[in-house]
Structure 1
């Protein structure tokens, strides 16, 4: 049997890279030779044990690759197809699934969380999770269909009107995507609030205003009456700041994946008195086809915010050792 390098998270904080055999596939599965896999904030939470996962597991739920083998009952995918993957597997039987909200499935499992994912040369993937992409698409961008799909779902839930003003807190990869998605949705003004210079510079290079909440507190205090604010940071008192900056009758999008069990300060009176909508958003049910089209059309500026890293460097990224140099790490698999 052919063996290849696989990254396994044995338990929180313990990564092992070993040679493993190619996984076997079922009748309705394909074997994807992974070309690239993104490192996500959720991966970091799994690494630190603050997001539920099934250990040991090969992490990586943002990935794309080429199909090299198909099960006997596979009909809509072929060997040689370049595909991106929706990692979420829904039960199809719970109330959420039956009511058209499969992303809220009570029994959902996910590749890279509960089942082995994309930080390996090969991954077995159910046929219905595949999205075919144009053969010439850069794999480092193709693998980002999953996070872009999540951002599109969040923006859809906002139902934002063209000409709106928006503020995004947190300039990590998701925050950078959110800035661009809000602008494409028709926002007349989109401002980033972010303390790290690297992330502010990236946003500014893409034409967005950026404010340092530490050194420019006076400027932050003067901001007010945004139609939309988005918490893409998941830290400190960001959620309270979003509530303060949002206009009466406005929307606050809670996008950040706060660690399970973490509580944050918020003043309910402001939500009540300003009649704000506090909107949660979790993964996505139906946006990956749009994400694929937008990647292929080059609608998102991705080059300034992604960095290629080696499989052996994933632990450093998960531990935050490269946060001053990398906004989004993407692993190119051999």
Structure 2
């Protein structure tokens, strides 16, 4: 929907067009439209009021190009009324009633110009205050994002330091898993909550592509295990994208840890497609698979996190048949 700022011709045409040109052209067009409509009304009514279109077009000229344009339009319309209506095809002396009516309408038109200009001024002040508040808000948001980013980096450093000092393999593995989760959340924050992109939805495919690049680096996959992607465009809400990214983080991490034991070669594929009704996000590997009954008896943190993130995303997580392990998260639109 257009606001008054979008209709401000002086601001929109400047500096290419001089202000006085915009004012005169706008006033002339408004006066011409008033005259044409008055001529059309003559064909339908026997004696239409002479000033019927005065105030609407004076108001329009003022709103579009300012008070000078409104006064010019007022003068042109009054001259047109005098020439076309009061004395056809010529200017002539007015009697007392016609002169009083012309003067009264001139004063009323001037009052309309004044009110319209006051509205323009008030609107401009409100827009300036709004712009200043938005600028302040953007600065605060940038500062907040910068602090959050620094906090994520600090947490990552602390966890990594503790992981390096872990006394046993189990602790080191748990801290490594925690480190990857924190990095996944940091990536989500950096990608999804940038003040430069304030839309409510983002492209899940683009976000997951960046996430998978970071995962491939963080998991230190060997050349025999590849992390591949086939990601189409899929617009989703920001919170849903974060949850879906955390699902991918857990599933890819589990595949990298358990699907390829003893130096086995293979690949992990993350794919995303939009079928119209929703988005289907699949994480699959061609590894050794899971033992029969392992899924039913699993109570690990990873599985709980996957189920929780899938629920938070508003989607349904299903396990697919395959030579390895494959899960699909269906995200309805």
TM-score (norm 1): 0.20
The one of the two structures with greater contact order (alpha-carbon pairs below 8 A, sep at least 6) is 1
Larger radius of gyration: 2
Structure number with the higher helix fraction is 2
Structure number with the higher strand fraction is 1
